[in-house]
Amino acid sequence: MSRLVLGLETSCDETGAAVVRVDDDRSELLSDVVASSMDEHARFGGIIPEIASRAHLEQMIPVVSAALERAEVGLADLDAIAVTAGPGLVGPLTVGAAAAKALAVGLELPLYGVNHVVGHAVVDELVHGPFPERVMALVVSGGHSSLLLVDDTVGITELGQTLDDAAGEAFDKVGRLLGLPYPGGPHIDRLAREGDPTAIRFPRGLTAAKDQARHATDFSFSGLKTAVARWVEARQDAGEEIPLNDVAASFSDAVSDVLTAKTIAACHAHGVDTLVIGGGFSANSQLRDMAAARCAEAGIEVRIPPIRYCTDNGAMIAALGAAVLRRDLPPSPLDLPVDSSMPLTQVLV
């Protein structure tokens, strides 16, 4: 029996809506519409929650209408509503949850409040098919760098996370110190493609033997960010020009090196041979190339969705909604609370 799930995403600056068809053994994406308020935040050098909330309020109905239209379905055809319950910014999350509740009550449909970070991994089921029984997931975004052991798609064990900055956050901060527009991640990626990743040897956080014992599956990028700042300052003080391409490439290489090495070691430690990489930072070309090469060498199948499914979108929420619907998990209460720091082990409210 086919069922249709509408997924809504509003945890940060993207208003996303997507329709997924759920069959017994697979989920199919019928539409995915995203409106971003990033242009309104860029001049502030960071996301302004109040502006993001207002943008969600304005964009919600047009984005949902466009998603239904592109899927060639009507509201009456839907069977369930999924929405991001957290983690994220409280104001933006609240706008999405309010819209999802209104739809669920008005259409008398079950409501599923799901985890944004887990959605970043599960969206890959729409691209590469259902997950095998157990996969390793590396979710790297502006807010998270998390290593998750995923059983039957919806059972999450958190193996590790960043102890300070997330990978995307470190890129955005280094972008700022290099004078690049916000968010710096994609700009550093572009510069790095023309640079030499071996030009400067930046530190690899939490890889020393003493750290490996306690933090084998954790990450740390703030020391690296400081090392880049010191290196740049020293050149500036000496009146030298900053080789932006080489700095970007060497910095990106350090981040990708640590992420891939620790993740592959965790796959071996847990006997897992499929790795899923998701989240906005998985758009990074050095990470994608290095993960592909090192996983091939290690005999691990690596699944990374196309870039448009890596950054925030409604498809990831509809995909996770589809996964919980297929497993007959109980719907969320209609007073669904949002949780800005929702634990990653909690897939569904």
Q: Which is nearer to ligand KG4, 187 or 262 (CB)?
A: 187
Partner interacting with residue 16 (select from Zn ion, ligand KG4, none; CB below 5-8 Å by kind): none
Give the nearest distance from C-beta 47 to ligand KG4 in angstroms: 9
Binding mask 120-159 for Zn ion (x = CB under 5 A): ---------------------x------------------
Q: Which is nearer to ligand KG4, 141 or 162 (CB)?
A: 141
Reading the block at residue 347, the tokens are: 């897939």
Task: Give the separation between CA 316 and CA 311, rounded to whole angstroms.
Answer: 9
Tell whether omega for the bond before 49 is within 30 degrees of 0, i.e. cis: no
Residue bearing tokens 């880049």: 228
By CB under 5 A, tell whether 312 contacts Zn ion.
yes
Q: Which is nearer to Zn ion, 117 or 159 (CB)?
A: 117
The per-residue b/e assignment along 159-175, b for 16 or more CB within 10 angstroms, e otherwise, is bbbbebbbbbbbbbbbb
Task: Give the separation between CA 118 and CA 149, rounded to whole angstroms.
Answer: 11
Task: Give the separation between CA 271 and CA 269, rounded to whole angstroms.
Answer: 6
Residue type, 191: L
Give the nearest distance from C-beta 278 to ligand KG4 in angstroms: 8
Give the nearest distance from C-beta 277 to ligand KG4 in angstroms: 12
Applying CB under 6 A, the residues found at the interface with ligand KG4 are 12, 141-143, 168-169, 171-172, 183, 185-186, 189, 279-281, 283-284, 311-312
Give the nearest distance from C-beta 293 to ligand KG4 in angstroms: 17
Helix (H) or strand (E) holding 278, with range, is strand 274-278
Query: How many CB atoms within 10 Å of residue 226?
Result: 12
Partner interacting with residue 281 (select from Zn ion, ligand KG4, none; CB below 5-8 Å by kind): ligand KG4
Q: Which is nearer to ligand KG4, 90 or 298 (CB)?
A: 90
Tell me the DSSP string of 81-93.
EEEEEESS-HHHH
Residues in the chain: 349
Q: Which is nearer to ligand KG4, 191 or 275 (CB)?
A: 191
Reading the block at residue 331, the tokens are: 């719907």
Question: For ligand KG4, which residue has the nearest CB?
Answer: 280
Query: Which range of residues in 172-180, 229-237, 240-248, 310-318 is near Zn ion by CB under 5 A?
Result: 310-318
Q: Strand 27-36 to strand 274-278: parallel, antiparallel, or no bridges (unpaired)?
A: unpaired
Q: Which is nearer to ligand KG4, 299 or 343 (CB)?
A: 343
Partner interacting with residue 172 (select from Zn ion, ligand KG4, none; CB below 5-8 Å by kind): ligand KG4
Partner interacting with residue 251 (select from ligand KG4, Zn ion, none; CB below 5-8 Å by kind): none
Task: Give the separation between CA 27 and CA 322, rounded to whole angstroms.
Answer: 7
Q: Which strands form 274-278's sheet, in the order they lie side by side? A: 155-161, 145-151, 134-140, 274-278, 301-303
Query: Which range of residues in 205-213, 243-251, 300-308, 312-320 is near Zn ion by CB under 5 A?
Result: 312-320
Task: Give the separation between CA 59 and CA 45, rounded to whole angstroms.
Answer: 22
Q: Report angle CA 191, 193, 195 to the nearest 5 degrees.
A: 75
Q: Please check whether residue 8 is in contact with residue 98, taking contact to mean a CB–CB distance below 8 angstroms.
A: no
By CB under 5 A, tell whether 14 contacts Zn ion.
no
Reading the block at residue 98, the tokens are: 């309010």
- List the beta bridge partners of residue 35: 15
Give the nearest distance from C-beta 5 to ligand KG4 in angstroms: 21
Give the nearest distance from C-beta 243 to Zn ion in angstroms: 32
Q: Which is nearer to ligand KG4, 141 or 250 (CB)?
A: 141
Q: Which is nearer to Zn ion, 253 or 312 (CB)?
A: 312
Give the nearest distance from C-beta 311 to ligand KG4 in angstroms: 4
- Return residues touching Zn ion (CB under 5 A): 141, 312
